[in-house]
């Protein structure tokens, strides 16, 4: 299957699962608000990476049902972080993925609560994975909470809030993005692995984390470039908003050409790490994650 | 040991654990904000219930270390809910436990983030409990996420936000409190049980939930009474704030005398359910949870 078809296929599967998980009249109207953001058609990058990481390591004909709860949990955590980041006290964004943000539609209190409930539900969904061992579930829950928490994604957001003090160089900016974006991508690679085994190998975990960190940084810099040069219609959000908001991005330190060179450098490193992993797991002829790293580096939206 | 001494002892143990869990320079300043609310001297009711529920069922001389991670996770989730509930878009409270609320000290964005990070960390702490089986951990994580999520505590908060529409009788008010307060107390009794076994008995779970629901409702009504009649110095927050804020409480439907009768009725039911549980687990001479239900019903702060 060509990569773009696979992205569509995986995305449709994840979409369907996310719909099923939240299709309930429980929640006193809260699930409707959770669904508004969760089912608004994101790229589903983290679930894709989790699923393909699982397929790389699975020895059992890759029954992806084993990784789907983890993949959905990742997307729920990603979505909660977007809802909270968009709130007036954070980035104060009115639009996300071409639609009004949650707090613009439902008000701040309910948006806050929907974010809380999505974060909470992510752990329920991950912990209810009965197709893997309890030991695998515990590994997944620990990774989700560590990479989403104060030493991961939330820590990155904290740096961002204090960015006037903390982000004063290209290096510190990369550190922030390594947490804000990279942490959950790392978690995605690990969760795929944990769905395949409950006795993970430290060296594999380390390789996956390096791959994911490179992909995360390249992804973020490509995002900065697209915000400057993309077509608004293609991007689905206003172009030039970073400049308008005086936001510090990689383009505060680099030209567009230099930035794309960085994207290519980190992507090259990611592909090289993944190639070594393929060699170790030589049974696998699957080059999807390396191809996906390249795809993200070259994307136009 | 007398009950009040036991409350102090357990509280000190939990305090010490919460301190250790968050005593880290990770988090880019975020853990400091988490600690501000987490270590502000709450009653530690949920950890107490979890610990004593564990001691009721444990057959191994009650090494309470097995339940402490679960007890701390409960307190972290309780604290996150307070931080978010106090925010301007929710209840807009400036004081909590006699101190400025998190958003008054650190600003809304960081308070929001500290709440998110506490909720996230709760699952890390629970899942890192290596003194019980992975199966017990999975039971605990599922219970935490279900009782804190959209069909539990967050659902209760959602009803509260829509209370003008949804809470128009004493019965619907009780339903709201059964979720907002009761859900996490239920979870506390279950987590104590799960720390003692990874093959829980449905009928025990049901009895614990009934006990906890009764305790939760009695607790909330007693809270309403104290808000009307207590001494500000003893209570640690302004008396009469519910009336001042036009808040719907049990005293919107009942006189203080009727309300205290309800407290006593629910407490009596709770004690009766617990007495039956003691009879089943006749090895236990421990009457702590029944005594604690009585203590909560009669408390003055």
**Alpha carbon of residue B2 to chain centroid:** 22
The pLDDT profile of chain B, 301 residues, written as one tens digit per residue, is 699 999 999 999 999 999 999 999 888 899 999 999 999 988 899 999 999 999 999 876 678 999 999 999 999 999 999 999 999 999 999 998 889 999 999 999 999 999 999 999 999 999 999 999 999 999 999 999 999 999 999 999 999 998 777 788 999 999 999 999 999 999 999 999 999 999 999 999 999 999 999 999 999 999 999 989 876 666 666 677 777 777 889 999 999 999 999 999 999 999 999 999 988 876 667 899 999 999 999 998 7
Mapped onto helix, strand or coil, the DSSP state of residue B278 is helix
Q: Please report, for residues A69, A237, B50, B181, B265, the alpha-carbon distance to residue B251 in angstroms, rounded to integers and kept in the order given.
A: 44, 50, 30, 17, 16
pTM across the whole model: 0.96
Contact list in B for residue A146 (CB cut-off 8 A) is 124
Across the range A74-80, mean pLDDT stands at 98
Q: Rounded distance, CA A78 to CA A48, Å?
A: 13
Helix or strand (DSSP H, E) at B95: strand B95-96
Contact list in B for residue A149 (CB cut-off 8 A) is 117, 120-121, 124
CA distance B244 to chain A (A): 21
Q: Rounded distance, CA B292 to CA B283, Å?
A: 20
CA distance B180 to chain A (A): 12
Write down the number of H helices and E strands in chain A.
16, 2
Q: Rounded distance, CA B41 to CA B38, Å?
A: 8
Helices (H), A58-101: 68-86
B104 in contact with chain A, both atoms CB, cutoff 8 A? no
Question: And the tokens for B117?
Answer: 């990070």
pLDDT in the model for residue B60: 62
Say if the Cβ atoms of B150 and A30 lie within 8 Å: yes
Of B117, B137, B138, the CB nearest to A149: B117
Say if the Cβ atoms of B116 and A120 lie within 8 Å: no
Domain ranges of chain B: 3-298
B172: closest CA among A28, A180, A183, A264? A28
CB B57 within 8 A of CB B196: yes
pLDDT in the model for residue B234: 62
Say if the Cβ atoms of A120 and B145 lie within 8 Å: yes
Of A116, A133, A155, the CB nearest to B27: A155
Give pLDDT tens digits for A1-19.
699 999 999 999 999 999 9
Say if the Cβ atoms of A109 and B90 lie within 8 Å: yes
Give pLDDT tens digits for B66-98.
999 999 999 999 999 999 999 999 999 999 888
Among A residues 188-227, those touching chain B with beta carbons less than 8 Å apart: none
Helix or strand (DSSP H, E) at A100: strand A99-100
Contact list in A for residue B151 (CB cut-off 8 A) is 26-27
> Strand A99-100 and strand A95-96: pairing?
antiparallel
B121: closest CA among A78, A31, A155, A80? A155
**Alpha carbon of residue A230 to chain centroid:** 21
pLDDT in the model for residue A301: 79
pLDDT in the model for residue A35: 98
Percentage of residues in chain B having pLDDT higher than 70: 95
Say if the Cβ atoms of B108 and A89 lie within 8 Å: yes
pLDDT in the model for residue A245: 72
Q: What are phi and psi of A198, to 5 degrees?
A: -110, 10
Give pLDDT tens digits for A85-143.
999 999 999 998 889 999 999 999 999 999 999 999 999 999 999 999 999 999 999 99
Q: Please report, for residues A77, A78, A155, A215, the alpha-carbon distance to residue A292 in angstroms, rounded to integers and kept in the order given.
A: 22, 19, 27, 9
Give pLDDT tens digits for B168-191.
899 999 999 999 999 999 999 999
Q: b vs e for A262-280, b when ≥16 Cβ sit within 10 Å of the residue's Cβ?
A: bbbebbebbbebbeebbee
Beta-bridge mates of residue A216: none
Say if the Cβ atoms of A150 and B87 lie within 8 Å: no
Q: What are phi and psi of A100, to 5 degrees?
A: -60, 145
Question: And the tokens for B283?
Answer: 């090895």
CA distance A122 to chain B (A): 8
pLDDT in the model for residue A244: 73
pLDDT in the model for residue A60: 62
A113: closest CA among B179, B268, B294, B17? B179
How many interchain CB pairs under 8 A, A with B? 159
Give burial (CB, 10 Å; 0-12/13-18/19+) of B287.
middle
CB A153 within 8 A of CB B153: no
Q: Rounded distance, CA B155 to CA A148, Å?
A: 23
Q: pLDDT at residue A74 above 90? A: yes
CA distance B117 to chain A (A): 5
Q: Rounded distance, CA A119 to CA B66, Å?
A: 26
> Strand B99-100 and strand B95-96: pairing?
antiparallel
pLDDT in the model for residue A283: 61
Contact list in B for residue A31 (CB cut-off 8 A) is 150
The CATH fold of domain A3-298 = Farnesyl Diphosphate Synthase (1.10.600)
Residue in chain A nearest B80 by alpha carbon: A116
CA distance B148 to chain A (A): 7
CB B101 within 8 A of CB B115: no
* ipTM score of complex: 0.95
Q: Please report, for residues A210, B32, B227, the alpha-carbon distance to residue B105 in angstroms, rounded to integers and kept in the order given.
A: 38, 12, 25
B128 in contact with chain A, both atoms CB, cutoff 8 A? yes
Residue in chain B nearest A91 by alpha carbon: B109
Give burial (CB, 10 Å; 0-12/13-18/19+) of A91.
middle
Q: What are phi and psi of A99, to 5 degrees?
A: -125, 160
Residue in chain B nearest A198 by alpha carbon: B134
CA distance B183 to chain A (A): 13
Contact list in B for residue A117 (CB cut-off 8 A) is 149-150, 154-155
pLDDT in the model for residue A1: 63
Among A residues 134-193, those touching chain B with beta carbons less than 8 Å apart: 134-135, 137-138, 141-142, 144-146, 148-151, 154-155, 157-159, 161-162, 166
Q: pLDDT at residue A253 above 80? A: yes
Across the range A43-55, mean pLDDT stands at 96
Among A residues 48-87, those touching chain B with beta carbons less than 8 Å apart: 80, 84, 87
CA distance A74 to chain B (A): 13
Residue, of B257 and A164, whose pLDDT is higher: B257
């Amino acid at each position: 299957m060509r990569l773009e078809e696979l992205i569509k296929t995986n995305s449709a599967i994840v979409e369907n699962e996310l719909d099923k998980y939240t299709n309930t009249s429980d929640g006193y109207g809260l699930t409707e608000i959770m669904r508004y953001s969760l089912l608004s058609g994101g790229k589903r990058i983290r679930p894709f990476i989790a699923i393909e990481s699982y397929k790389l390591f699975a020895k059992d004909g890759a029954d992806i049902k084993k990784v789907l709860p983890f993949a959905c949990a990742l997307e729920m955590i990603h979505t909660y972080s977007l809802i909270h980041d968009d709130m007036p006290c954070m980035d104060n964004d009115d639009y996300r993925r071409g639609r009004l943000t949650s707090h613009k539609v439902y008000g701040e209190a309910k948006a806050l609560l929907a974010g809380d409930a999505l974060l909470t539900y992510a752990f329920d969904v991950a912990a209810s994975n009965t197709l893997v061992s309890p030991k695998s579930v515990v590994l997944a829950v620990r990774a989700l909470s560590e990479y989403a928490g104060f030493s991961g994604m939330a820590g990155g957001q904290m740096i961002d809030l204090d960015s006037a003090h903390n982000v004063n160089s290209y290096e510190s900016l990369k550190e922030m993005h390594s947490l804000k974006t990279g942490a959950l991508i790392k978690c995605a690679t690990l969760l795929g692995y944990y769905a395949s085994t409950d006795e993970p190998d430290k060296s594999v975990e380390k390789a996956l984390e390096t791959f994911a960190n490179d992909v995360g940084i390249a992804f973020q810099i490509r995002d900065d470039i697209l915000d400057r040069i993309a077509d608004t219609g293609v991007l689905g959000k206003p172009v030039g908003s970073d400049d308008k908001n005086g936001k510090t991005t990689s383009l505060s330190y680099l030209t567009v050409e230099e930035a794309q060179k960085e994207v290519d450098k980190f992507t090259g490193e990611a592909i090289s790490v993944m190639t070594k992993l393929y060699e170790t797991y030589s049974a696998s002829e699957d080059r999807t994650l390396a191809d996906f790293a390249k795809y993200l580096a070259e994307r136009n939206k």
